[in-house]
Amino acid sequence: MLRRVAGSGTFAQVGTVANTATSFTDSNVDADANAYDYRLELQNSCGTVLQTQDHTTIRTTATATEGQEGRDEGKVKVSWNAYRGFDVKEYRIFRTSDNGTSTLVATVSGGTLQTEFASSTAGFDQCLRVVAVSSANASVTSASNDACVSFANDLVFYNVITPNNDGLNDKFEIKNVGLYPGNSLTILNRWGKEVYRASNYNNQWDGAEQAAGVYYYLLKLPGGKSYKGWFEVVK
C-alpha cells in the first residue's frame, strides 16, 4: 500500500497486506490537515507489478460566521477537495451538534466542492462531515474528516427599559438568552423584594407594573453558571 499527501511528491510504502485482503487501515495520518492519495501495488505469480488507479481522500474545512443575534443568524461555510476513486454522483453534508446525532443538512452535485447554510439553532459546537456517493452504486461512499466550528453566543444584558410601547427598549432584554433553555431569572427591586421570577426567560418582562428606578437581576443557567447585575426602568 502506497501513500502520499494529495498531489505532492512521490508515493511511499505505508503497509503490506495479504493477497486475500479487502481492506487496509492507515492510522499514521492527519486527516484534518491533509487529503491523501493512495495506490495499491500487486505483484502476481510471474513477478509483474500491477497498480490500481489512485484514490484521493476528502479533506473538509469549515468556518463559522456568527450573526448579530447569535447562532440563529449565523452561517457555516463548508469546503472540500474532490474525491477520486469512483465517479461521484453527489456529496452529502452531515452535521453533528453538541455531541448529538449526525443529521443530513445538505446534498450537492458531484461537481460542487463548497456550500454554505444557516447554523440555525443546531448547537454551540457543530462538526461537519462530507460523504461522496458513487454514481454507479449509492451504497458505495467515502467520508471525510470531521471539520468542527463553534459559536460563542455570549449573553449581553441591556440595562435600560422604557416600557412605553414605542418598540424600543420596552422589555428587559438579554441577547441570546433564548439559546439557553432551562434558564431561570429573578428580578429584585432596590429593597431586595422579588418582583419577578421566570423559567426559560425569553425577553418578555416589561416592568409595566413596577415603579421607575433601579432593579437587580439574577440569571441562572442549567450548567450552574449565573449572572447578576442591575438595570433601570425609566418612565
* Residues comprising the chain, all counted: 235
User: What is the distance between the alpha carbons of residues 142 and 76, in angstroms, rounded to a whole number?
Assistant: 22
Residues 163, 108 share a domain:
no
The domain that holds 63 is classified in CATH as 2.60.40.10
- When divided into structural domains, the chain yields a total of 3
Query: How high is the pLDDT of residue 144?
Result: 98
- Residue 8's domain comprises 1-57
Q: What is the DSSP string of 23-83?
A: -----S--TTT--EEEE-EEE-TTS-EEEPPPEE---EEEEEEEETTEEEEEEEEEEEPPP
Question: Distance of CA 164 to CAs 66, 160, 167, 207, 212, Å?
Answer: 32, 12, 8, 10, 12
**Which of 34, 57, 80 is at the close of a domain?**
57
Residues 146, 80 share a domain:
yes
Residues 206, 223 share a domain:
yes
**Which of 42, 57, 72 is at the close of a domain?**
57
**Which of 135, 153, 171 is at the close of a domain?**
153
Residues 210, 136 share a domain:
no
Residues 105, 25 share a domain:
no
- How far apart, in Å, do the first and last CA atoms of the chain sit? 77
What pTM does this model have? 0.71
User: What is the distance between the alpha carbons of residues 175 and 124, in angstroms, rounded to a whole number?
Assistant: 15
Query: How high is the pLDDT of residue 52?
Result: 92
Q: Exposed/middle/buried for 50, CB within 10 Å: 0-12, 13-18, 19+? A: exposed
Scored b (16 or more CB within 10 A) or e, 17-49 reads: eeeeeeeeeeeeeebeeebbbbeeeeeeeeeee
For every one of its 235 residues, what pLDDT tens digit does the chain have, with 9 covering 90 and above?
Answer: 999 999 999 999 999 998 889 999 999 999 999 999 999 999 888 889 899 999 999 999 999 887 765 545 678 999 999 999 999 999 999 999 887 889 999 999 999 999 998 876 666 789 999 999 999 999 999 999 999 998 777 788 999 999 999 989 999 999 888 888 899 999 999 999 999 999 999 999 999 999 999 999 999 998 889 999 999 999 9
Residues 143, 66 share a domain:
yes
The domain that holds 200 is classified in CATH as 2.60.40
- The grid cell for 54 is 489512485
Q: What type of residue sits at position 140? A: V
Is residue 235 a contact partner of residue 163, using CB atoms and an 8 Å limit? yes
Residues 47, 29 share a domain:
yes
Query: How high is the pLDDT of residue 231?
Result: 97
Query: How high is the pLDDT of residue 45?
Result: 82
User: What is the distance between the alpha carbons of residues 191 and 31, in angstroms, rounded to a whole number?
Assistant: 60
Query: How high is the pLDDT of residue 145?
Result: 98
User: What is the distance between the alpha carbons of residues 221 and 124, in angstroms, rounded to a whole number?
Assistant: 15
In 3D space, the residue among 155, 159, 164 whose CA is nearest the CA of residue 217 turns out to be 159
Is residue 209 a contact partner of residue 233, using CB atoms and an 8 Å limit? no
If phi > 0 it is left, if psi is from -120 to 50 it is alpha, else beta; for residue 153 that is left
Residues 68, 44 share a domain:
no
Residues 98, 83 share a domain:
yes
Residues 149, 131 share a domain:
yes
Residues 91, 50 share a domain:
no
Residues 47, 22 share a domain:
yes
User: What is the distance between the alpha carbons of residues 30 and 12, in angstroms, rounded to a whole number?
Assistant: 16
